[in-house]
């Protein structure tokens, strides 16, 4: 998987900077061009890492909402139950109802916030 990820990151780097060579391993690159290429790859991989961290946390939260406990989260992520608890604190240790309750509270808070800024909610539907 590492070569596929590196390839995807390199494609992104080249979209960001079309002047980059076909590959950072291309023959005949000057030291400066090679350094620029590797720095571009580093930037793309770092951006991907941030996005993957966000997506990983979201997947753990969704799994917990559907009943996954910390041992299951840890097994899926290749870590112990304790590691999962440290990485994603606040997820229900039993998943299920508690996680769904938290989600319902977040949705209610979002509705309350939209009611404050929605003129129809403030003044009614014009009836």
Tens of pLDDT, residues 4-13: 999 999 999 9
Q: How far apart are alpha carbons 112 and 121 in whole angstroms?
A: 10
Rounded CA-CA distance 80/74 in Å is 5
- Two tokens, residue 101: 């309750």
pLDDT in tens, 58-106: 999 999 999 999 999 999 999 999 999 999 998 865 545 555 566 677 7
What's the pTM?
0.63
Could you report the per-residue pLDDT of 33-60, keeping only the tens digit for each?
A: 999 999 999 999 999 999 999 999 999 9
Closest CA to 47 of 36, 58, 39: 39
Provide the pLDDT for residue 124. 53
């Amino acid at each position: 998987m590492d070569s596929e990820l590196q390839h995807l990151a390199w494609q992104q780097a080249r979209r960001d900077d079309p002047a980059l060579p076909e590959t950072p391993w291309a023959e005949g690159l000057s030291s400066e061009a090679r350094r620029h290429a590797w720095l571009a790859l580093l930037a793309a991989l770092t951006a991907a890492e941030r996005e993957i961290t966000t997506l990983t946390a979201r997947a753990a939260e969704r799994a917990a909402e559907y009943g996954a406990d910390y041992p299951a989260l840890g097994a899926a992520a290749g870590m112990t139950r304790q590691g999962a608890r440290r990485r994603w604190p606040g997820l229900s240790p039993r998943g299920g109802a508690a996680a769904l309750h938290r989600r319902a509270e977040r949705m209610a808070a979002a509705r309350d916030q939209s009611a404050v800024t929605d003129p129809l909610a403030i003044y009614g539907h014009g009836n």
